[in-house]
Amino acid sequence: MAMTHETTQPPSGASQPGPLTEWPLRFLRHNFGIATYAVQEYTVIYANRPYSGGPRPAREEVHPNAFHGTSAGHISIRNFPPPAVVRWTSKDGTPLEAQVDIGEIFKDELVLYEAPREEISDRTPSINPDIVMEINDRTINVYMRAFLSLKAPRFPERPHSDFRDDLVLAWSQTY
């Protein structure tokens, strides 16, 4: 039956047939967070928000899962503010400074993910990915983490493992 203006729409709570996801996956907003290792101090200004801290241990000195659990605390940033201004002191005491242009790194606004496309559900909700900047001694890495619904659980014995949220390296620079 063809839909006309007079045809009634299903109630808003009714399930909708077909895919909700448009491919390729894109994002209009993002979340931002910082992870720091092997630095004496750091200051980052991104989206008019300052981040700073004191001495941080090397990554290998913290719990092995600590970095993979890193997320973003500054949420729903409209793409893209001016570059992040990063000032830090490396492990050996060298003062360093850089501008990291998040907008240039993600200029195509495509979501980065490691799951095979055929495993991702067509009902994946809209995505505001986490962008995580890691300052590790003399290196800055920028990662993306996006929550993706899967068609089936990754581990059959764990029915709630039907998602992926991998940290995917997008950019790296050593100073």
Contact 88, 135 (CB under 8 A): yes
Give the strand pairing for 29-37 and 74-78: antiparallel
73's tokens? 């605390």
Quote the pLDDT of residue 156: 87
Domain range for residue 61? 35-174
Please answer whether residues 109 and 26 qualify as being in contact, where contact means their C-beta atoms are separated by less than 8 angstroms. Answer: yes
pLDDT for position 23: 83
**Number of domains the chain is built from:** 1
The answer to whether residue 2 is domain-embedded is no
Residue 3 counted as domain residue: no
Identify the pLDDT of residue 35: 96
Q: Is residue 18 part of a domain?
A: no
Longest dimension (CA), the chain: 72
Asked if the structure places residue 71 within a domain, the reply is yes
Residue 5 belongs to a domain: no
How do residues 87-130 score in pLDDT, each as one tens digit? 999 999 999 999 999 999 999 999 999 999 999 998 887 789 99
What is the full per-residue pLDDT of the chain (175 aa) written as tens digits? 343 334 344 444 444 455 567 888 999 999 999 999 999 999 999 999 999 999 999 999 999 888 888 889 999 999 999 999 999 999 999 999 999 999 999 999 999 999 999 999 988 877 899 999 999 999 999 999 999 999 988 898 998 888 899 999 999 999 9
The predicted pLDDT at position 20 comes to 62
Closest CA to 17 of 30, 4, 3: 3
In a domain, 15, yes or no: no
Whether the CB-CB separation of 96 and 88 falls below 8 Å is answered with yes
What is the reported pLDDT for 69? 84
pLDDT of 123 reads 81
Task: Supply the pLDDT for residue 19.
Answer: 56
Does any domain span residue 156?
yes
Do 86 and 175 form a contact (C-beta atoms < 8 A)? Answer: no
Whether 16 is covered by a domain: the verdict is no
